[in-house]
Chains A and B, each alone.
Chain A
Amino acid sequence: MSAGPITIFRARRILTMNPARPEGTHVAVREGRILGVGPLEELVGWGTHTLDDTFADKVLMPGLVEGHSHASEGTFWRYTYVGRFDRMDPEGKVWSGAGSIEDVVARLQQAEHTLQAPDEPLSGWGLDPIYYGDRRVVRADLDKVSTSRAVGVMHASGHIFNVNSRALERAGLLRPGVNHPGVPLGTDGLPTGELKGPEAMSLVGALIGFDRERLANDEPGLRRFARLCVRQGVTTATDLANLLPPEAVSMMRRVTGEARFPVRIVPFRRFQAMTARQALDHALALRGESTDRLRLGAIKLFVDGSIQGFSARLRWPGYYNGAPNGLWYTPPESIRELYALALQHGVLVHSHTNGDQATEMALDCLEQAMLGQPARDHRFTLQHCQLADAAQFRRMHRLGMCVNLFPNHHFYWGDQHYETTVGPERAMRMNACATALASGVPMAIHSDAPVTPLGPLFTAWCAVNRLTASGRVLGTAERISVADALRTITLGAAFTLRLDGEIGSIECGKRADFAVLEDDPLEIAPEHLKDVRIWGTVQDGRSFPAAEP
């Protein structure tokens, strides 16, 4: 049997995440997989090879793994970005942050000029009015953009829309007598244009271009998402979660199967509006449709809502500002049933818990499910799990659970958590990366893109520095080292996806997935980790420069 051709890449430095051989200068690749790392003389024994010097002055890391993102970040870039902070689009253009509401309006006005059809809606995303003082965005602001077409902007959190008068009118909401907590009214008795929560948002979604079908099955969006992954050094990314209708699965199979598709996509099926048995059967059927670059068959469930939306479930003493406790999204009975069935059939389940009571409930449910179905290596993971305390991390360890924490939250909303949602002490323990590692809980960290920008090195910077947007250090004791952070965004995330035998480190037998960096993340000052320049990626042995059109 003839083996494929061998390429040996030479690099300035190769950081392997393999403690037995932590560094090297050369990596040999055959058939998209790694033959070995080391000095050249230890690799030539594999046989005839081509020496590739493209990366001679670059640093290689294992391809970065984003354990909690949504491919809809690719879709959102078709809308106008109006966020507070600079953000890079899939084509590499950096959109500067909007400094004021007037600035947001000006950007939308600019985008409005480019629209052709008179009734085409105008959509924006990334709005974060907490940075603009006490003034709320109202329909009069967006009426300055257009009074004839529907204009709508999604907030960065994804939980609120701001729309103009035309959009309200078309949704039948520009009338007195509307009585809903998610639809604030102005002094004139009419809605202000802010629509909070899924029900109120659902009335205008399609009118302002955020329709569900588009978001669920968007081929150009998936391609853009892949471009973003390349720019951020990501070679494996989750789409967490998707309803995965058959047409979306077949689109994803086709697109990810193309010869130059650069990312391994791991979609999770959302557990919603179905029984545990149905969810399991769907997951098992999907598992059989997996390919090299599309890994199907896992399930995501929602235990509670979000902390900044006050819909997360908190234990005593609850919200700092006295808001009532949040909502359960799935009853404990259903969670226990799903866990038990999934353990029985070896199906991976990741559970969204934001508040610490939601985390406690998920831990209880798993503990009860395991009484009937002992499982040694289930890799069930708590996603976000932002408020977990030390005792909960110890329980996760005892139950064999993994965690995927959300340190990006500190930067974007840490000040709000400190001042309003949970108060100083709990804000400082949020996303307790150091405690998780000390407790022996396998850990990943994530962006939840598009909620915050995709970029594991930025996420690593957040975990290392724990700075808020205002410059406050939120919990010095929970900072982790750069080395730990780099391991977390590679092998750590791969472990939570049951892919650590295949990706996450550079060693013999694994996939030839590399993040190709211009700067050395171990040499750069930790406070500049987010500024490491990224050349692109190698995925399954194929090179993808970020600069490539």
Chain B
Amino acid sequence: MSGAPLAWRGRLPVTVIGGYLGAGKTTLINSLLRSAEGRRLCVLVNDFGSVPIDRDLIVAADGDTLELSGGCVCCSYGSDLMDALAGLPSRLPQVERVLLETSGVALPDQVASAVGLLPAFRIDGIVVLVDADTVRARVDDVYVGDTIRRQLAAADLLVVNRCDLVGPEDLATTLRWLAVEAPAAHRIQTSRGIVAADIILGLGDGAAAAPSLPAGPYECDAAMRYEAIEIALPAEVDAAALAWRLTRPELGLLRAKAIVRDARGGLAALHTVGRRAEIDVAPASARPSRLVAIGVRGQLDRAAIIEAVLSAPHVRV
């Protein structure tokens, strides 16, 4: 693991996608691949067994690597995730972002902390899928109930899936219950695993003008559902302090990014995903930027976000 290319590229962001068997992890990943819009993703799955990738997305197959349309790839990590990750930057240098699908009984925070042992990667966020229809029955299961609870508690973002299968009263009860189980996680309600790609895959430039949305029958619905905003930042805002302020659930932010001055006067990339905030080395070409943020329409509290920005301490440059 040589230092030079890392300083130039920054660490590769990894999104851990967890959740119990059948919660919709694979559906979410396929929907993200369809709306990747030129982002070169590497999807890591435990196995190719149950056809993890929709066939029409597969361009070519070579052993444990599938070449996908749009410059993406899918690899199975089988018995050794760490090995697969460690070799990834040199084997697939074009990859910009990793989506790591965990097994149904894995604890996603444990997987994330293992990824953190590899200096070439940073955890972008832990996304945990919940089957709104079955989760409350499943947590009463004597065997897997506590595993599901631990999965929920590990989430930065909870994607509450299959909401269309649940009546409004049941859904409200489930959401209240989730707020108790995972109080710090930010929640997205959806069906058929559809989530705006910007939230999971990162905000592209100009995202506020036109958040990228998944193609398909839910497109209009999704366009209505999310909203992105941009906010000017004071030049010397303290990146770490700001980042933590932006993770407060009441702001309604699902994801935010900005390039800001760090404590030593250099440039840092600030990312938040739900309750998680991360400060990373900014790319060499970066310039200080506005804050770009995305959230659920109607829940994004612009005034509170501006208040958070203004209340953040400044660094002395």
Contacts and interface: CB of A to CB of B under 8 A. Distances in A.
A482 B50 CA distance: 49
Contacts of A179: 113, 116
A180 B114 contact: yes
Contacts, number: 78
B146 A325 contact: yes
Interface stretch (B75-83, B129-137, B218-226, B263-271): B75-83
Given A173-B117, A361-B143, A329 B105 contact: yes
A331 B21 CA distance: 8
B81 A199 contact: yes
B7 interface: no
A178 B79 contact: no
Given A203-B82, A274-B47, A333 B116 contact: no
A40 interface: no
A185 interface: no
A416 to B, nearest CB: 24
A341 interface: no
Contacts of A278: 47, 49
A199 B77 CA distance: 13
Contacts of A178: 116-117
Question: From DSSP, what is the main secondary structure of chain A's interface residues?
Answer: loop
A328 B79 contact: no
A278 B78 CA distance: 13
B119 interface: yes
Contacts of A329: 105
B21 A333 contact: yes
Contact of B49 (A275, A331, A332): A275
A219 B76 CA distance: 27
Contacts of B77: 273
A357 B21 CA distance: 20
A328 B143 contact: yes
B270 to A, nearest CB: 18
A333 B141 CA distance: 12
Centre residue among A200, A331, A361 by max chain B CB count within 10 A: A331
A332 B1 contact: no
A344 interface: no
Contact of B79 (A203, A273, A275, A361): A273
B147 interface: yes
Contact of A331 (B78, B113, B117, B144): B144
B65 interface: no
B279 to A, nearest CB: 13
Interface string B128-160: 000000000000000110110000000000000
Interface in B101-117: 103-105, 107, 110, 113-114, 116-117
A332 B144 contact: yes
Interface string A424-439: 0000000000000000
Contact of B50 (A275, A325, A328, A364): A275
B86 interface: yes
B289 interface: no
Contacts of A181: 110, 113
Nearest to B104: A331
B27 interface: no
B49 A274 contact: yes
A273 B105 contact: no
Chain B, interface size: which category? 20 to 34
A376 interface: no
Chain A, interface size: which category? 35 or more
A181 B111 CA distance: 11
Nearest to A313: B143
Contacts of B104: 331, 333
A212 B103 CA distance: 21
B46 interface: yes
A331 B105 contact: yes
Contacts of A275: 47, 49-50
Given A178-B117, A203-B117, A330 B143 contact: no
A474 B139 CA distance: 37
Interface in B65-110: 76-83, 86, 103-105, 107, 110
Contacts of B117: 173, 178, 180, 183, 199-200, 203
A277 B76 CA distance: 17
B113 to A, nearest CB: 5
A273 B21 contact: no
B105 A272 contact: no
A98 B117 CA distance: 32
Contacts of B119: 172, 175
A269 to B, nearest CB: 12
A368 interface: no
Nearest to A361: B143
A202 interface: yes
Contacts of B103: 331
Contacts of B107: 327
Contacts of B79: 243, 270, 272-273
B82 A199 contact: yes
A227 B77 CA distance: 35
Contacts of A330: 105
A328 B82 contact: no
Q: Which 5 A-B pairs have the closest CB atoms?
A: A275-B49, A199-B114, A273-B78, A202-B82, A328-B105
Interface of A: 172-173, 175, 178-181, 183, 198-200, 202-203, 212, 243, 270, 272-275, 277-278, 313, 325, 327-334, 357, 360-361, 364
10 contacts: A180-B117, A199-B114, A203-B118, A273-B49, A277-B49, A327-B107, A328-B143, A331-B103, A333-B22, A364-B143
